[in-house]
Structures are given as structure tokens and as C-alpha cells.
């Protein structure tokens, strides 16, 4: 099959492959944006209008945009199924991309991107602009919450997050932080880590990780990720620069502060806004979205952190 030509019009029909909590969100938002949405789910008999597989969904009509929201371990299988069914449009694969060494046939589609939607968070965008021309000295990142409270009405032990085999675990679930650190400060040069499965929850995946790294643009980066913080949710980044400026972006409160002074805020309840902005970008050729190469950097960082814990050492590029 020859590579598809560049798209000339916005997609009008979308496939959402997988209908867990994030798949349901994508389906709702795409309908709100005016697209016809076909859902592909193994639970199709219980979902009115859903299809049991990609081939059946495409047999009912063409689609030019697909969002892959399956378990992480099944992402590449879904992309292969799209290719086999003759789909050539744009694909957004939910984060993380998958496992190290798995190949995505990008040339078979008009665009393929990965769903690190925090690149469209207004506070992170403001921080990125503020850091332009600065020399970061230290970066501290924290993302923490209590996994059993993530999905209302669902037993956390039965979710993908709880299963190592399904691609769950805090390193992958909260890999947004790894992506935006790379986006803001460049690729990691060396890193070490502590953490993994600590036995706090009834799961077999990793529950907490702390990474210490040097990146291309910052000599000291620490990243703390946790499933096991009761009664709280934290998601923030603090940056100190050589110019004497200290920035703190709180993504839960939706605030950006410089040297302790509030300089920008957004609506903390507008949780859909970064997803919507990401879909708008994908509907216009994917500019600003995470590329496959960038997503592979995140997978390499995850792999390096797991290696560091297993071997009790620093990992170098």
C-alpha cells in the first residue's frame, strides 16, 4: 500500500477503539465536536451502536480519524488491525505508546500521534513560554493520588492500572510527567530510580516511583509518581533558573507562580479543555501533539527507570 496523501479536509467520522473511562471521554468529546463516532469495544453487546471489532466498524462506513484507547499492551495490535482493515486516516494512540521495540507503521497513515494531552494544558503552555531563554538549574515534578479513588464505581483491582501484564502501573499511567519533562527540558542523558511494587495496594503493578535525572537542558531533575497518597491529589512542577527565577505550575489548582507571586490562572474545573485542544490539533494534521519519536523517548525513559531499580544503578544514554 502506498503512503496516503496529506488530508485536505477535517475528518467527519471517527472510531474510538476501546471504551473504558478514557475511551468514553474521547467518544463524548468527539461527538460534542460534531463528529459521528463509532465505538469499537469487546463489550459491544452491552453498548448500543458499538461494534465488536475494527473491520465491522469500517464495513458500516469509512472513517478518517481513530483514537486507540485499549489497554496499553494492546495498542500496537489495534494499530495493526486498523492497517489491515484499510484505514489510512489519522490516529491518536492513548499514552503510553506501548512496550520498547514495538514498531508503529507511520507511513501507512496520514498522521499518527500519542495522547499526551498535558502539552495542551494552559498552565504548562504558559510555563513553557516563561522558560524560553532561561537556563533551568533544578526541576522538581510531583504527581500523586490514591488509585482506588480514580474511577468511581469500579473496583481498582480489576482495572488496567492494577495489572502489570495489561500495561498498568504508576510509571505508565502517570507518564504524562515524563513526556512534559522531555518536552520542556530535552531528552534524558542519565537517570536512576527507586520504587516499583511496594505492596500497599492489591495490585501487581508498580505503585510509586522516584526518578532522578539529568536532561539535555537541565542538570538536576527529580520526578515523584505515586498511586498511594490518601485523600489528596497533587500534580505540579517547580523550576529554578540561573536568572534567579523560581516557577511553580500547579496543574490541579491551575495556577502559575513566579517567585511566589501568582502570574497566571485558569479554570481548574475545565478538565476537558486540554483533550479538546488536542483533538482540534489532530483534526488539523496533528501539529503540537506528541510524535511517535517523542513517545518512544518516554517508553525508553520508563524502561531505563525499571532497569535502574532492577540493577540498582545509573542508566546512561
Going from the C-alpha of 98 to that of each of 28, 94, 214, 236, the distances in angstroms are 25, 9, 24, 25
Q: How far apart are CA 74 and CA 127, in angstroms?
A: 34
What is the set of domains in the chain, with CATH numbers?
13-115 (3.40.50.720), 118-316 (3.30.360.10)
Contact by Cβ (8 Å): 123, 255: yes
pTM: 0.93
Residue at grid coordinates 527507586? 194
pLDDT in tens, 125-150: 999 999 999 999 999 999 999 999 99
Nearest to 42 by CA among 91, 84, 14, 81: 81
Cell of residue 34, nine digits: 460534531
Instruction: Report the chain's mean pLDDT, rounded to a whole number.
Output: 94
Mean pLDDT score, 94-107:
87
Mean pLDDT score, 79-101:
93
Q: How far apart are CA 115 and CA 275, in angstroms?
A: 9
User: Which range has highest mean pLDDT (93-102, 162-171, 209-218)?
Assistant: 209-218
SS3 state at 238: strand
Q: How far apart are CA 275 and CA 106, in angstroms?
A: 22
Q: What pLDDT shows up at residue 2? A: 41
pLDDT in tens, 238-265: 999 999 999 999 999 999 999 999 999 9
Q: What pLDDT shows up at residue 44? A: 66
pLDDT exceeds 60 at position 219: yes
Q: Identify the band that residue 183 occupies on the pLDDT scale cut at 50, 70 and 90.
A: very high
Q: Kindly report whether the peptide bond that precedes residue 96 is cis, defined as omega within 30 degrees of 0.
A: yes
Q: What pLDDT shows up at residue 242? A: 98
Please state, for a pLDDT cut of 90, what percent of the chain lies above it.
86
Q: How far apart are CA 193 and CA 223, in angstroms?
A: 9
Please state, for a pLDDT cut of 70, what percent of the chain lies above it.
97
SS3 state at 209: strand
> Helices 273-283 and 21-32 meet at what angle, rounded to 10?
60
Amino acid at each position: 500500500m502506498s503512503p496516503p496523501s496529506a488530508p485536505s479536509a477535517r475528518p467527519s467520522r471517527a472510531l474510538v477503539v476501546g471504551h473504558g473511562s478514557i475511551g468514553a471521554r474521547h467518544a463524548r468529546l468527539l461527538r460534542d465536536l460534531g463528529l459521528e463516532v463509532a465505538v469499537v469495544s469487546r463489550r459491544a453487546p452491552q453498548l448500543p451502536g458499538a461494534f465488536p471489532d475494527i473491520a465491522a466498524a469500517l464495513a458500516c462506513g469509512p472513517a478518517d480519524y481513530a483514537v486507540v484507547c485499549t489497554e496499553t499492551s494492546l495498542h500496537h495490535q489495534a494499530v495493526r488491525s486498523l492497517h489491515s482493515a484499510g484505514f489510512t486516516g489519522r490516529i491518536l494512540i492513548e499514552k503510553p505508546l506501548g512496550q520498547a521495540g514495538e514498531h508503529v507503521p507511520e507511513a501507512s497513515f496520514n498522521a499518527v500521534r500519542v495522547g499526551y494531552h498535558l502539552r495542551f494544558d494552559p498552565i504548562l503552555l504558559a510555563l513553557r513560554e516563561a522558560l524560553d531563554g532561561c537556563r533551568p538549574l533544578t526541576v522538581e515534578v510531583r504527581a500523586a493520588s490514591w488509585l482506588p479513588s480514580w474511577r468511581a464505581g469500579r473496583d481498582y483491582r480489576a482495572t488496567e492500572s492494577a495489572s502489570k501484564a495489561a500495561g498498568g502501573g504508576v510509571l505508565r499511567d502517570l507518564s504524562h510527567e515524563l513526556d512534559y519533562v522531555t518536552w520542556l527540558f530535552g531528552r534524558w542523558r542519565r537517570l536512576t530510580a527507586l520504587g516499583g511494587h511496594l505492596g500497599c495496594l492489591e495490585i501487581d503493578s508498580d505503585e510509586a516511583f522516584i526518578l532522578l535525572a539529568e536532561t539535555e537542558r537541565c542538570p538536576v531533575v527529580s520526578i515523584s509518581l505515586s498511586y498511594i497518597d490518601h485523600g489528596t491529589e497533587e500534580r505540579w512542577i517547580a523550576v529554578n533558573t540561573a536568572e534567579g527565577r523560581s516557577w511553580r505550575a500547579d496543574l490541579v489548582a491551575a495556577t502559575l507562580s513566579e517567585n511566589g507571586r501568582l502570574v497566571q490562572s485558569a479554570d481548574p474545573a475545565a478538565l476537558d479543555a486540554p483533550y479538546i485542544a488536542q483533538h482540534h490539533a489532530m483534526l488539523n494534521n496533528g501539529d503540537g501533539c506528541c510524535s511517535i519519536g517523542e513517545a518512544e523517548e518516554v517508553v525508553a525513559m520508563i524502561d531505563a527507570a525499571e532497569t535502574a531499580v532492577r540493577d540498582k544503578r545509573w542508566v546512561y544514554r
